[in-house]
Amino acid sequence: MKKTCIAFQIILLVWFFLDMIGVYFGDKCLVTQSYKEDGVFFLIYLTAIILFIIKDQIGKWIVAVWTSIWFVIQFLCHEWYTIFNGGIMGSLEGKIKYFSETVQWIKIEGKYIPDIYHTVLHILILLVIITTFMFIKKTGNKKQ
């Protein structure tokens, strides 16, 4: 189970790293380069993974808590806008405009739909949360 957790954590880390460097396809982008905005979050997640690998008794809790907080933040910044047509991170129109050049699943006039990068990011965060909590349940307080 630990190997599965680490595998999903590494996949998420690699996907999140794309946010650090930016990935562009001509006039469209998968994700903009955002290391100035998200670099600290990347380093926190990297540290959590390292702790999980080295000392899983504490690392599993750090990964579980950090990714849970991260998912809530992502939900409020993305899915909340889709569901409620507004949110805490600016206007709906601003959100639509900001992500207008990203690779989209679909575009609906006047509606914000999370782009491909963020959809995959959110799925990966959920997979890390699920597998980490499964690992926590399986291991309890046993030494690894």
Closest CA to 56 of 12, 96, 1: 1
**Distance, CA of 85 to CA of 50 (rounded, Å):** 38
Contact 48, 66 (CB under 8 A): yes
**Distance, CA of 22 to CA of 138 (rounded, Å):** 37
**What pTM was estimated for this model as a whole?**
0.92
Question: 102 pairs with which residues across the strands?
Answer: 29
Q: How far apart are the first and last CA of the chain?
A: 11
26-48: pLDDT as tens digits: 888 999 999 999 999 999 999 99
48-105: pLDDT as tens digits: 999 999 999 999 999 999 999 999 999 999 999 999 999 988 899 999 999 999 999 9
Place of tokens 């996907």: 15
**Distance, CA of 119 to CA of 5 (rounded, Å):** 20
64 residue type, one letter: A
